[in-house]
């Protein structure tokens, strides 16, 4: 299978030319030993301009934060900050402070991509930051977040056109890339293991177990009319079809659709699975069950009401919606929902992790859906991510052979470690949530129109 990649500079598309700028270097390489391709990574290749005052204030705040943390921050002159713990080697403090002063946590991630800081235990260092996220900096800096934190670019809004581009930038990188670090099921979401520590050999069955739990939650069985929003590479649709369900599954990723179609055909399920390249807003019909795995995070908070209203519109009376969703605490979601982050710039454009409370409130206010059950298993996601991260590191040469340069590899390593740290510390959780559709209580004999002009 030929590698196919997104054509955007921020996701580093492969090149057929192997110049001095694109020859991969070890993941620990710094700018002193490995050049960053400016055409692909313009904001990584050089630290942004920032005023001396802003940089000085940033350096002072960061230094005070480091001194309070259970970290060992080693500076180029051999001195260190922190109370001891995982090592963060700060190789270029000036560039590091420039970046943070200019663009906050985006600068923190870009500084790692540039090799300006390093950590032998990257997950350990990031876990310290996650555990102290609410107290890293003085309260007054949070109150002034709107002044220093970058805002979401309009181009990343999840309109029907924008959503296609946002999904394209991540999921259409290359099917071959994802196959390098995912297990045989090609499932890109949290597994559910029987015990810890998890092993690579246990991952395929753990992924199937997760899928079966979600299908059980939605009551999927013989004759069920099931809609899946977010096809992935087809494993869930195949398992639902083998239960006897009639499945419609939709995706915005052309790369995933092509491979999922082939896998459905090879599984002998083409007569029970319809695969569509379609936005959830454009789906029509009525379904007994709707299932979606870690897709709502890509919707964006502006469109959560639209997404939930679509579920309500598409679900038959008495039907069930089973979502697997990454979640965060409600107060953290409220504090960060308008902030443009490194993850949004480089990994998941347009996305935002919701809180369970936000989903509950929105469904109760605007739909007939009611949250009936939820169960979290964040520790399982931490182990899933650890296995992916280790596999990605083991297959580093294969990643290079696909044309992804050293900066991309550092970016992807940071993404996997950053996510793992979030789940290990409880900053993030992953949940399976069941919503039931309550009957509309009315004395009228005709459907009640809602503001969209659709019948509830």
> What residue ranges define each of the domains in the chain, with the CATH number in brackets?
42-147 (no CATH), 154-437 (3.40.50.150)
Residues 6+ apart with CB under 8 A from 143: none
Q: How far apart, in Å, are the Cα atoms of 439 and each of 4, 148, 308, 412?
A: 46, 47, 16, 45
* pLDDT for residue 49: 79
Q: What's the pLDDT at 31?
A: 41
Q: 117 is written with which tokens?
A: 């800081």
3-state class percentages of the chain: helix first, strand second, coil last, to nearest 5:
45, 15, 40
Can you give the pLDDT at residue 137?
A: 67
Q: Say how far apart CA 83 and CA 71 lie, in whole Å.
A: 6
d(CA 295, CA 354): 11
Q: 3-state class of 429 per DSSP?
A: strand
- Cα–Cα distances (Å) from 339 to 4, 307, 332, in that order, read 31, 21, 11
pTM higher than 0.85? yes
Residues of the chain with pLDDT under 50: 1-33, 441-456
Please tell me the predicted confidence (pLDDT) of residue 149.
65
Phi, psi dihedral angles at 266 (to 5 degrees)? -65, -30
Element (H, E) at 433: strand 428-437
Under 8 Å between Cβ of 297 and 351: yes
How many whole angstroms separate alpha carbon 421 and alpha carbon 200? 19
Distance CA 86, CA 382 (A): 18
What phi, psi does 106 have (nearest 5°)?
-65, -40
Beta-bridge partners for 374: 433
Q: What is the maximum span of the chain, computed from C-alpha positions, in angstroms?
A: 79
C-alpha to C-alpha distance for 429 and 422, rounded to whole angstroms: 8
Contact (Cβ atoms closer than 8 angstroms) between residue 125 and residue 71: yes
Give long-range contacts, CB 8 A cutoff, 24+ apart: 303-308: 303/158, 304/354, 304/358, 304/359, 304/362, 305/362, 305/366, 306/281, 307/280, 308/359, 308/362, 308/363, 308/366, 308/367, 308/369
At 119 the three-state DSSP class reads: coil
User: For residue 90, what are the β-bridge partners?
Assistant: 117
């Amino acid at each position: 299978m030929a590698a196919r990649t997104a054509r955007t500079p921020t996701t580093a598309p492969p090149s057929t030319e192997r110049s001095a700028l694109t020859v991969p270097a070890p993941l620990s390489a710094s700018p002193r030993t490995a050049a960053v391709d400016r055409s692909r990574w313009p904001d990584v290749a050089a630290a942004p301009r920032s005023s001396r005052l802003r940089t000085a204030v940033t350096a002072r705040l960061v230094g005070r934060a480091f001194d309070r943390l259970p970290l060992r921050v080693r500076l180029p002159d051999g001195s260190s900050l922190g109370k001891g713990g995982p090592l963060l080697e700060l190789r270029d403090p000036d560039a590091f402070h420039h970046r943070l002063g200019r663009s906050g946590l985006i600068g923190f991630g870009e500084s790692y991509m540039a090799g300006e800081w390093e950590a032998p235990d990257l997950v350990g260092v990031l876990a310290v930051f996650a555990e102290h996220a609410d107290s890293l900096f003085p309260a007054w800096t949070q109150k002034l977040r709107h002044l220093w934190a970058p805002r979401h670019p309009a181009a990343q809004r999840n309109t029907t056109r924008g959503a296609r581009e946002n999904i394209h930038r991540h999921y259409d990188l290359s099917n071959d890339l994802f196959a390098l670090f995912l297990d045989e099921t090609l499932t890109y979401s949290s597994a559910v293991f029987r015990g810890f520590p998890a092993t690579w050999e246990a991952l395929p069955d753990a992924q199937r177990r997760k899928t079966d739990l979600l299908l059980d939650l939605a009551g999927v069985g013989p004759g069920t009319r099931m809609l899946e929003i977010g096809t992935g590479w087809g494993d869930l649709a195949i398992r639902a079809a083998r239960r006897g369900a009639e499945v419609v599954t939709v995706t915005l990723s052309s790369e995933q659709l092509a491979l999922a179609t082939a896998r459905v055909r090879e599984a002998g399920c083409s007569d029970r699975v319809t695969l569509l390249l379609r936005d959830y807003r454009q789906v029509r019909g009525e379904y007994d069950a709707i299932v979606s795995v870690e897709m709502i995070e890509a919707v964006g908070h502006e469109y959560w009401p639209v997404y939930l209203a679509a579920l309500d519109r598409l679900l038959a009376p008495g039907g069930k919606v089973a979502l697997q969703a990454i979640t965060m605490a409600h107060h953290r979601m409220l504090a960060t929902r308008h902030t443009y982050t490194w993850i949004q710039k480089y990994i998941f454009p347009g996305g935002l992790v919701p809180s369970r409370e936000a989903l509950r409130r929105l469904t109760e206010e605007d739909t007939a859906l009611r949250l009936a059950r939820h169960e979290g298993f964040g520790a399982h996601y931490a182990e899933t991510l650890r296995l992916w991260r280790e596999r990605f590191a083991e297959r580093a040469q294969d990643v290079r052979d696909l044309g992804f340069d050293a900066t991309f590899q550092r970016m992807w390593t940071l993404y996997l470690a950053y996510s793992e740290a979030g789940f290990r510390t409880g900053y993030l959780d992953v949940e399976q949530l069941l919503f039931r559709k309550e009957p509309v209580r009315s004395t009228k004999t005709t459907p009640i129109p809602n503001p969209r002009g659709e019948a509830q």
